[in-house]
Structure 1
């Protein structure tokens, strides 16, 4: 649980680092995402090599993981590029707090609906309540958002929903493909980051790839932080934690992420939240708790342990799918 909590806290700082990088580096969300992917990929490859050396039987070879799951890895990599870049763009337009809450709150709701429509999964009473709570929360957020949080809150919320939709698509693909253990999922995530880096490169070149080096040390420090802490460290700890913690438990602990982002947004970045936004935030987070409770009850009644799904998000572990993000 400590590993998952540290990972979620690290993810919660990623949007703030990106917001600062916009100012310091003078680059857009696609380029920020690209540099995060490149730096994170190098460190994740190093982490995977260490895992394979110390625990030979515990970490799947990357080539084997790609060969066996080629289609899933390609789609996962593209999905990672879409929803993480859309999240960073949402932070730029709607502010850190709104972007994080909408992305992390809407993702579980979209997956619940998508699983019902595409996979034929039944929706429990808790799941229905979660969808209703999430929709009401989103309506309140859209109605209460103003320019005190960001320059264009409504387009920013739209980008956050795009991020959540990209995450939902990757997770549903993983669920339709079967289930892996934490080590196999970690290997798939590393190869997914490699695919995502390749997807982002041409778009980053068009947007403007190189940051402003007037404050080179601060800019490079932010890029290194994005790749090291909310990416390499967070993902490594998260998958290590999932070896011992139920995915439903992880989904609740991972709520530290939006809380961390909200605290940074309000206390550090000076974002203001209206009563409507606060209420919508509470309803979105409540929907995640309902989904976790419903999944736990379903697993226990079925007499099966809570297995790890293949959805690879940034902290987006809302049950019944380990996290996103984001």
Structure 2
């Protein structure tokens, strides 16, 4: 794999993280204008994304590829789609139960740890290249703490369990989506997995989410933004990037999400980042900057050639 392809894939995944990072503010705007629960918003987001992606696949002549993918790998596509829907809903639930800081650190921080461990087991060797991962996780803690110091929810134990489940589902969706991405059209793969996720999540949102809709134009416009950009486009970018980037590297790269969320909060909400927040952002971005070399080493190992270790050197959890 060429260096330029590795960098392009990493950039696509980082852009997905940037889009996810704007979702927190978007959800807040929706809740300011309409009495919708986070579960209902998540259902809207996934359902709208599925409609947009299927329409795009129709226009681009990719519906046949979507059908072929569903016939060829129905189990894996279903698991990836349902895990994708589950981890965002579980993350939202965790935020309500335990607060933003703990939810973000546990949900987003657990995924790279799980995938580092998986890579070590697969390679049958001790984990290597963990320093960039530790740097990214330390940065995540600093950014999250600076964004919401002292925040806590009413049911911390259930909240932490929900965050652990969210992070596990995030890691599973990324790891299982990586081999699909390498042999599939990104638009077709995103349309297939998102449609499955919508079929699983929307009925749950209708049954348990409270009010199902709103007539407020601002809320509706932001819901469309959440579905089209922070979901449909973001996941298309993620799967496109996974064609040249390992899943363990991808979950580190998507830690640009809380960095973006912190910057958005500072610009639009007047929140102060502080020294710790800025230091955390620098750590996360430095870890991401070291990914291309690690990605090339990991690809060599995947071809049966000597490699320096699992592809973690140097990131959908989602704060949206």
Whether TM-score is above 0.5 comes out as yes
- Flag the 1:26–1:85 CA change in 2: closer, same or farther, 3 A: same
**Partner Cα separation in structure 1 for residue 123 and residue 212 of structure 2:** 46
8 A contact 1:251–1:292 mirrored in 2: no
Give 2:66's aligned residue. Answer: 62
8 A contact 1:106–1:134 mirrored in 2: no
Kindly tell me the number of residue pairs found equivalent between the two proteins. 298
Give 1:268's aligned residue. Answer: 268
Give 2:212's aligned residue. Answer: 210
**Partner Cα separation in structure 2 for residue 140 and residue 242 of structure 1:** 27
8 A contact 1:14–1:226 mirrored in 2: yes
Uncovered stretches (5+) of structure 2, i.e. residues with no partner: 1-7
- Flag the 1:15–1:287 CA change in 2: closer, same or farther, 3 A: same
Structural mapping, 1:203-282, within 5 Å: 203-204=204-205, 205-213=207-215, 216-237=216-237, 239=239, 246-247=244-245, 256-273=256-273
Uncovered stretches (5+) of structure 1, i.e. residues with no partner: 54-58, 306-317
Cα displacement (A) at 1:218: 0.9
> CA offsets per residue over residues 103-149 of structure 1, 9 Å max, x none?
444422221123334x45545531x324544565567678x578557
8 A contact 1:27–1:211 mirrored in 2: yes
**Partner Cα separation in structure 2 for residue 130 and residue 159 of structure 1:** 27
> CA offsets per residue over residues 258-303 of structure 1, 9 Å max, x none?
3321111222234445655655565555555556543333435777
- Flag the 1:161–1:292 CA change in 2: closer, same or farther, 3 A: farther
Q: Could you tell me which of 29, 33, 58 is aligned with 1:49?
A: 58
**Partner Cα separation in structure 1 for residue 135 and residue 286 of structure 2:** 7
- Flag the 1:221–1:101 CA change in 2: closer, same or farther, 3 A: farther
**Partner Cα separation in structure 1 for residue 47 and residue 173 of structure 2:** 20
Cα displacement (A) at 1:304: 8.4
Structural mapping, 1:272-311, within 5 Å: 272-273=272-273, 283=283, 286-289=286-289, 293-299=293-299
Give 2:75's aligned residue. Answer: 71
Matched, 1:191 2:192: yes
Shift >6 Å, 4+ stretches: 138-142, 248-253, 301-305
- Flag the 1:288–1:114 CA change in 2: closer, same or farther, 3 A: farther
**Partner Cα separation in structure 1 for residue 45 and residue 221 of structure 2:** 12
8 A contact 1:3–1:237 mirrored in 2: yes
- Flag the 1:79–1:120 CA change in 2: closer, same or farther, 3 A: same
Could you tell me the TM-score, scaled by structure 2's length?
Answer: 0.72
**Partner Cα separation in structure 2 for residue 3 and residue 158 of structure 1:** 31
Structural mapping, 1:10-159, within 5 Å: 10-52=19-61, 61-90=65-94, 94-95=99-100, 103-117=107-121, 119-120=122-123, 122-126=125-129, 128-133=130-135, 144=145, 148=149, 150=151, 152=153, 155=156, 159=162
- Flag the 1:285–1:162 CA change in 2: closer, same or farther, 3 A: farther
- Flag the 1:269–1:86 CA change in 2: closer, same or farther, 3 A: farther
- Flag the 1:303–1:172 CA change in 2: closer, same or farther, 3 A: closer
